[in-house]
Amino acid sequence: RTSRSKMPQYPGLDRWILVEKMGDGAFSNVYRAKDSTGEIGEVAIKVVRKFEMNSNQRANILKEVQIMRNLDHPNIVKLVDFSESRQYYYIILELCPGGELFHQIVRLTYFSEDLSRHVIVQVAEAIEYLHETSGVVHRDIKPENLLFYPTPFVPSKHPKPKQPGDEDKEDEGEFIPGVGSGGIGTIKIADFGLSKVIWDSQTMTPCGTVGYTAPEIVKDERYSKSVDMWAMGCVLYTLLCGFPPFYDESIQVLTEKVARGQYTFLSPWWDDISKSAQDLISHLLTVDPEKRYTIKEFLAHPWIRQSGEETTAAA
Ligand code: ADP
Ligand code: MG
C-alpha cells in the first residue's frame, strides 16, 4: 500500500488528497485522489508537467481539456475540473477504479465473444456520440485508453485466499469480468490528448464557413473518423484472441504490414471464434477508408445486434 506521506505535494492542489499513482505518460502522472471537502468523493488527477513542454505541447493540453469540457456521455471519462499552477496543469477527471481494459485482457488472456461484444458496444456508443453528435475524432483508441468502472462485486464463487490478519475482514472476493450479470462494468474512453474537432460545435457543419467547404475537407473529415473505426477493429480483434492483429519486432516491418492491411485470423486461436465476428473485423481492418465501416454500419452488423444472453469470461 502506498502511504499518503509518500505522495508528492503539488502547489494549488489543496482540495485533493492524493491516494495512489494510477498511471503515467510522457509528461504526466495520474493519481487517485479524495476530495477533502467530501463533496465529490474520489477522482483521478492527471498532473501534467508544464515545465517539460514546449508551447505547442502546452496548447495541446489546453485543447484536450477544451474538447473534454464539451463532452457528456456515460462511456466517456468526464472532466470534473481544470486548474494550473506555474509548473503544472491539473486535469481533474471522473475516476475509473477498474483501471485499463488492457490489464484485464492480459489477466484473462482473452475475452469470450459475449464479453467482447459487451465491451465493444460500449466503446461504439461513445464513438457514435463523438462522431455523430460532437464532431470529435478520438484518434488514440487502444486498450490502454479504455478504462472501466467495475460491476459491483457479488461475493459468489470466487473468494480470495485469506491472508494472515484478514480473519475478521469480510470476503472481498476477486474481480472477475463476466462473472455475475454486469459483464465487466461500464467502459469509459479516456485520453483526448490526440483528439480533434472536425465539426463546428455551434453550427454542426464541417469546421469553416458553411457552403465554402472544399470537397477534400469534407473527405478529410470522413477519413479522420475512419481512423477510430480501424482502431476499433484492432481492439475487437485483440479482445477476442488476446493478441493484436498487427505485430512485428521491427517497426519498419510492422508499418509495412499495417500499410498493406496484412493480418490473418491465426489458427488455432481463431478456430472457435465465429465467422460473423471475423466478418465484422474484416470490415474495420479495411485499408481503403472509403470502404471501411462507419460507426453506423458497425452498430448495424449482425454480430453486434445479436444479444449476448450470458456475458461470461473466457475459460
Ligand atoms: P497519456 O496521454 O499520458 O496516455 P492518459 O490520459 O491516457 O495519459 O492517462 C495515462 C494513464 O493513467 C491511463 O492509461 C490510465 O492507466 C490512467 N488514468 C487516466 N485517467 C484515468 C481515470 N480517469 N481513472 C483511472 N485511471 C486513469
Ligand atoms: Mg493514454
Output the furthest CA–CA distance in the chain (Å, rounded). Answer: 72
How far apart, in whole angstroms, are the C-alpha atoms of residue 265 and residue 284? 14
How far apart, in whole angstroms, are the C-alpha atoms of residue 271 and residue 278? 11
84 is in an annotated binding site: no
188 is in an annotated binding site: no
Looking up cell 502506498 gives 2
Residues with CB under 5 A from ligand 2 (ion): 145, 191
Cα 8 to Cα 3, 16, 38: the distances in Å are 11, 12, 21
- At residue 89, the pLDDT reads 98
191 is in an annotated binding site: yes
Interval between CA 98 and ligand 1 midpoint (Å): 12
Q: Which atom of ligand 1 is nearest to the CA of 94?
A: 23
3-state secondary structure of 308: coil
Query: Would you say the CB of residue 208 lies under 6 angstroms from ligand 1?
Result: no
pLDDT tens across 250-266, in order?
999 999 999 999 999 99
Please, what is the Cα angle at 207 between 201 and 210, to 5 degrees?
100
Interval between CA 276 and ligand 1 midpoint (Å): 33
pTM of the model: 0.89
Q: Which atom of ligand 1 is nearest to the CA of 96?
A: 24
Is 228 labeled as catalytic in the residue annotation? Answer: no
- At residue 315, the pLDDT reads 39
Interval between CA 271 and ligand 2 midpoint (Å): 32
- At residue 228, the pLDDT reads 98
145 is in an annotated binding site: yes
- At residue 202, the pLDDT reads 74
3-state secondary structure of 20: strand
Q: Mutation test of ligand 1: which of 20, 43, 46, 95 has the most ligand atoms closer than 8 Å to its C-beta?
A: 46
Q: Which atom of ligand 1 is nearest to the CA of 100?
A: 16
ipTM comes to 0.99
- At residue 210, the pLDDT reads 75
From the list 14, 24, 114, 140, the catalytic residue is 140
Query: Would you say the CB of residue 93 lies under 6 angstroms from ligand 1?
Result: yes
Which residue in 16, 21, 15 sits closest to 2, CA to CA? 21
Looking up cell 473527405 gives 219
Query: Would you say the CB of residue 144 lies under 6 angstroms from ligand 1?
Result: yes
pLDDT tens across 126-173, in order?
999 999 999 999 999 999 999 999 986 555 445 555 566 655 555 556
Query: Would you say the CB of residue 302 lies under 6 angstroms from ligand 1?
Result: no
- At residue 178, the pLDDT reads 65
Residues of the chain with pLDDT under 50: 156-157, 310-315
3-state secondary structure of 218: helix
Task: Evaluate whether 145 touches 25 at the Cβ level (below 8 Å).
Answer: no
- At residue 280, the pLDDT reads 98
How far apart, in whole angstroms, are the C-alpha atoms of residue 28 and residue 38? 25
Ligand closest in space to the Cα of 29: 1
Task: Evaluate whether 42 touches 155 at the Cβ level (below 8 Å).
Answer: no
